[in-house]
Chains A and B, each alone.
Chain A
């Protein structure tokens, strides 16, 4: 069965620190990859997505992610986090014939001012 793994469940950083959140998936075929963010009390919003082409994709608010096919990974990065980045981050994979989306369990990021 397809799965998405986010190994960091809870990350605490100070403002201006660099961020990297891990995401690994298990699916051997063609995939589309996404990161979603959920701010406290709000709904899931798209942060960035990868369909094809340049494996380094840039999203909103200074976030970027790199697709490494050989490692089945799609890690999220930000050079310098802000307090307003405090949220939960979900990695998702779109794969298979029936437009299925599989979500990781999420990583809670807490940025200290």
Chain B
């Protein structure tokens, strides 16, 4: 089974520039998450989708961050304009119901962003 795919893996941009990250979740997973992980900290949820609807975006800085999940599959996360404090790893994850019971969240390899 293919995992969560993310691109690009690494990106270096100057402050005030824009950047976009792409995510393809595990096939069949209805829930997709974008997390921000700053070095030395745990993942912080930015936005959660259920199919193509937003479940939670309470911690998304909406003045500069936007995300969409058209057709309920792939998703993009955009930052415009970027600030120095946006330097972090952006993790995409998806979850679905295991055959036995419950939900498990699976992570992609992350997109490492450095803002200079």
Determine the residue in chain A with the shortest Cβ distance to B89. Answer: A43
A-B contacts, CB under 8 A, total:
60
Judged by DSSP, the binding face of B is strand
B42 and A98: CB pair below 8 A? no
Q: Which residues of A contact B93 (CB under 8 A)?
A: 101
Q: How many residues of A contact B (CB 8 A)?
A: 22
- Interface pick from B63-71, B77-85, B105-113: B105-113
- What per-residue 1/0 map shows which CB atoms of A46-80 lie under 8 Å from chain B? 10010110000000000000000000000000000
Those of B90-116 within 8 Å (CB) of chain A: 91, 93, 95, 100-110
Contact residues in B for A103 (Cβ distance below 8 Å): 42-43
Residues of B within 8 A of A (CB): 31, 33, 40-43, 45, 48, 50, 55-56, 91, 93, 95, 100-110
